Amino acid sequence: MHDMDVQNRRLRRLRELWATRFNGVTADLARAIGKDANQTRFVLYPDRAGGRRIGERLARQIEERLGLPQGYLDREDGMEDVVGRIAALPPALRQHLLEHLSLLEAAARELPFAFSGPVDPSRMADFHAYLERLSRRLAGIEETS
């Protein structure tokens, strides 16, 4: 895997987490990964003055601090594979799947209320955001079919 591909993927995945789990609040992300806000800004914006890339050690540290599996920042999110497989399905089956995906989205919005104990809202936000992105991508397939 090319080094710049890994760097770009790490940055993209961290920015997704920053947006979904921390609502774009740099100070909250910084606290969670054990860095100060300036250091975190340098990581989020590596092309600006003082910016730095997410190296191997920092990537693993971020994953550990955020409770992510090792290598999470390096991997694709898998959506391209999912979208490709669904696109290959017959139109009627795709439509059926889209209907069920809408039900999953609705369930994801209501899920935190279904538990009597605490639910990690950041995990729910990640799950909900993934379902929304997947729905938008699949809706694009239906429009072009």
* Domain locations in the chain as residue ranges: 3-74, 79-144
pLDDT per position in the chain (145 positions), as tens? 467 788 888 998 899 888 888 888 999 999 999 999 999 999 999 988 888 999 999 999 999 999 888 888 888 765 655 666 677 778 888 777 777 777 776 666 665 555 445 555 556 666 667 777 777 777 776 555 5
User: What's the whole-model pTM score?
Assistant: 0.56
DSSP string, 18-75: HHHHSTT-HHHHHHHHT--HHHHHHHH-TTSTT-----HHHHHHHHHHTTPPTTGGGS
pLDDT of residue 123: 61
DSSP result, 66-99: TTPPTTGGGS--SHHHHHHHHHTS-HHHHHHHHH
